[in-house]
Amino acid sequence: MPLIVDVHTHVYPPAYMQMLRSRKTVPYVHDPSNNRDPRLIILSSDDDASIPLDQRGRPVDSSYWDINVKLSFMRQHGINCSVISLANPWLDFVEPAEAQMWAERINDDLEKTCATVNKAADPGNTLTLDQKETLFAFGALPLSAPSSESVVAEIKRLKTLEHLRGVIMGTSGLGKGLDDARLDPVWEALQETDMLMFLHPHYGLPEEAYGGPETTGRYGHVLPLALGFPLETTIAVTRMLLSGVFDRFPRLKILLAHSGGTLPFLAGRIESCILHERKFISGGGDVQGPQRSVWDVLKTNIYLDAVVYGKPGLEAAMTASGSDRLLFGTDHPFFPPLDSKDNSWPSVTTNYQAIHATFDTNSKTVADVLGGNAARILNLK
């Protein structure tokens, strides 16, 4: 069996859950009085006063915070190694004065969890990666801190931790998006430390884009998650491209969730619009447009997870960035089977099937996407 590495798998450490339980505004966790699972409310569209508290958001069980449940899930689906990360909304909402403290606390917890699990799985450190259950992690950043200096300091500290292999962050950056010039010290720190950034959506699109609260209330999370998240990622990365982030930081490495949203499919259209934009100096305007093509950035700076659930989407991702830049993921613990009798998660097996269907004539490429690429790119050993 090939090595299988899950690069897109989340955990809410107990301390984080405790913090969410203490809150009354989004994001927060509500504990029902009827002994049912807690309710996680992280999307503003879920915080509707007309909906009873016990029915808002989504139910969350121990799979969100118990690492033993994570390990059981890995065994169930043949996963050797998981790169765990805090799930959205990360620490974006934390009070500025507390941001650095919480980032250090969460990241130290992640490091301790990985170290404990890895030592128990291989006390003598004699087994190879495909012979044991191993954990690594992406750290969280104190993006709401008063200055970017705290963020830079945490990036440099994470580089010294044995099991941290990068950082995870959302698309709001310091609050104004990823084309914000105030993020340049952060990009520089990531580039200089050679730390990969896992970019994950959370904020989606305004409810009006889907037809308003009545529509989202009727269709649940389908529109925000299926459409809002991928478009959010696409817009965020395109803003980075347009503002010259990849020109200034050519060695920046970014892993995009959900196979890059719609970026692989729309890359040609984005490039065409840039070439025809009159506001840019190349078109006679007064704004400096990007100097590198979107295609160059996709094949140089961008990595894509394989969480796309179908062959057509995976083929677009492979064409845009290359099969050597695709990494398997599950998005656990989100999207569990609705039928409790299901032993395997359709959200996971669908990704397996898409990978095999896309590369079925090349077993080496299948093995690379399932784990080889991640082991190489993230230096997992």
pLDDT computed for residue 123 by the predictor: 94
- 227 in a structural domain: yes
DSSP secondary structure letters along 117-164: HHHHH-TTS-S-GGGS-EEEEEEE--TTSSSHHHHHHHHHHHTTSTTE
Q: Provide the residue range defining the domain that includes 106.
A: 5-13+64-378
Number of domains in the chain: 1
- 31 in a structural domain: no
In contact, 255 and 7? CB cutoff 8 Å: yes
- Look up the CATH number of the domain holding residue 324: 3.20.20.140
pLDDT computed for residue 54 by the predictor: 87
- 59 in a structural domain: no
- 30 in a structural domain: no
- 279 in a structural domain: yes
- 275 in a structural domain: yes
pLDDT computed for residue 251 by the predictor: 98
At residue 306's C-alpha, the angle toward residues 337 and 192, to 5°, is 125
Q: What is the pLDDT along the chain (381 residues), one digit of tens a residue?
A: 899 999 999 999 989 999 999 999 999 999 987 778 899 999 888 888 888 888 899 899 999 999 999 999 999 999 999 999 999 999 999 999 999 999 999 999 999 999 999 999 999 989 999 999 999 999 999 999 999 999 999 999 999 999 999 999 999 999 999 999 999 999 999 999 999 999 999 999 998 999 988 898 899 889 999 999 999 999 999 999 999 999 999 999 999 999 999 999 999 999 999 999 999 999 999 999 999 999 999 999 999 999 999 999 999 999 999 999 999 999 999 999 988 777 889 999 999 999 999 998 899 999 999 999 999 999 998
**380: which 2 tokens?**
């997992």
pTM summary value: 0.96
- 164 in a structural domain: yes
- 307 in a structural domain: yes
pLDDT computed for residue 360 by the predictor: 86
Angstrom distance (rounded) from CA 261 to CA 173: 18
